[in-house]
Amino acid sequence: MDGKSGGIDKYLLNFLDTVYNGELRIDFLTNEIDENLKQELEKYHARLYAIPNLRHPAAQYRRVRRIIKEGGYDAVYFNISTAIDCIAAIAAKHEQVKRRMIHSHSSGNDCESSMKRHLFDIIHKICRLFLWKYATEYYGCSEKAGEWLFPKRIVHSERFTVVFNAVERERFAYNEQTRKEVRKELEIEDRFVIGHAGNFCYQKNHAFLIKVFAEIYRRNSDACLILAGDGVCFEAVKRQVKEAGLEGAVLFLGRRNDVERLYQAMDVFVLPSNFEGLPIAGVEAQSAGLPCVMSSRITKESRITKQCRFLSFEQGVEAWAEEIISLRGIRKEAEYLPEAGQYDLAVQKEQLKKLVQF
């Protein structure tokens, strides 16, 4: 955990809140202690241990073995995005922990440098060859995420379980009054509002989103784009917006803790990710009744409403702009597909409780 409210952190905090019963002792590993997170965990009597990062694999290995030995844990649960993060699982097997659960949350390496990303992809593929040997149970937020981390023969067997990224639907349900309030607050009452929520990083592909929006704005001068989040690409995206002459049409809202209100203000939600395990923001936006346009690199398992479309990057910026514009004015309450039941929070909670049954 890193305390920055990323997707994995949100999942783990929900996991803790769901399964904690006063008898279980659940502790967490992190590369850097976040005092706010540490304080949040105290109400669950959960400890937060700092371990060296992957730049120091030997030190991380020794530290994890020591923590496991001193803690006497019955199970370990590693929620990771890449097979490179294999050291703790190796340490757990060497300490003979009986239950070793590995949960995949992604389907790609998030790195801004294409050269580094290529290198990390190579290392990931090497580590993927043996990571599965150090687990006794296999999980993923989607089949695609599972195939990123584990052999297909495991993913397409009873040994692998999908734990869906569920959300509290009532929290995100369409609300006309909130919509009016937020649009007034942001001074976008009469605008065609395209929205996005996510970290500013290679994975989320803001550079492509800005190009698409520039085309939308060229055709619709009342269009605006609202962006919630921050990250390593934040300043680069701001420069791109300035260079495109879109400063008056793009709102940078920063990291927000009221994203459910922001969804209400939008007309269309766009997620042009280079890769995803399964995007929680996409599930949230659909639950808010938003028409959604996502990249074809995102697993179709994330489609839970009728108004969710997938486009490839090869179709080009103009096709994306046309698709988004075509969805203008059709927003209403979410019309869920039958498979959307998998994303019900009650279903996920039952899955999580099974993880701690001994």
Cα–Cα distance, 46 to 23 (Å, whole number): 11
Q: Which of 325, 334, 333 is nearest to 192 (CA)?
A: 325
Residue 192's beta-bridge partner residues? 223
Q: Which of 104, 131, 116, 139 is nearest to 275 (CA)?
A: 104
The greatest distance separating any two alpha carbons of the chain, rounded to the nearest whole angstrom, comes to 63
Position 69 scores a pLDDT of 96
- Higher-pLDDT residue of 2 and 192 is 192
Question: 211 burial class (0-12, 13-18, 19+ CB within 10 angstroms)?
Answer: middle
Position 341 scores a pLDDT of 84
pLDDT band at 353 (very low <50, low <70, confident <90, very high): confident
Tokens representing 70 are 């001193």
* 249-281 burial: b if 16+ Cβ within 10 Å, else e: bbbbbeeeeebbbbbbbbbbbbbbbbbbbbbbb
Query: Taking phi first (over 0 means left), then psi (-120 to 50 degrees means alpha), and beta for anything else, what does residue 254 get?
Result: left
68 pLDDT above the threshold of 50: yes
286 pLDDT above the threshold of 60: yes
Between β-strands 99-104 and 137-140, what pairing exists: parallel, antiparallel or unpaired? parallel
Residues 27-48 pLDDT 10s: 999 998 888 888 889 999 999 9
Please, are residues 197 and 230 in contact by the beta-carbon 8 Å criterion?
no
Residues 338-352 pLDDT 10s: 888 888 877 888 888
Position 2 scores a pLDDT of 54
- Higher-pLDDT residue of 356 and 1 is 356
* % pLDDT > 90, the chain: 80
pLDDT band at 103 (very low <50, low <70, confident <90, very high): very high
50 pLDDT above the threshold of 80: yes
Cα–Cα distance, 89 to 193 (Å, whole number): 45
Position 167 scores a pLDDT of 86
Domains and CATH numbers, the chain: 7-167+345-355 (3.40.50.2000), 169-341 (3.40.50.2000)
Cα–Cα distance, 293 to 213 (Å, whole number): 13
Instruction: Tell me if the pTM is above 0.75.
Output: yes
126 pLDDT above the threshold of 90: yes
Cα–Cα distance, 336 to 281 (Å, whole number): 16
- Average pLDDT over every residue of 271-283: 95
* % pLDDT > 70, the chain: 98
pLDDT band at 88 (very low <50, low <70, confident <90, very high): very high
Residues 216-262 pLDDT 10s: 999 999 999 999 999 999 999 999 999 999 999 999 999 998 999 99
HSE-CB for 198 with a 13 A CA cutoff: 26
Cα–Cα distance, 142 to 163 (Å, whole number): 7
pLDDT band at 6 (very low <50, low <70, confident <90, very high): low
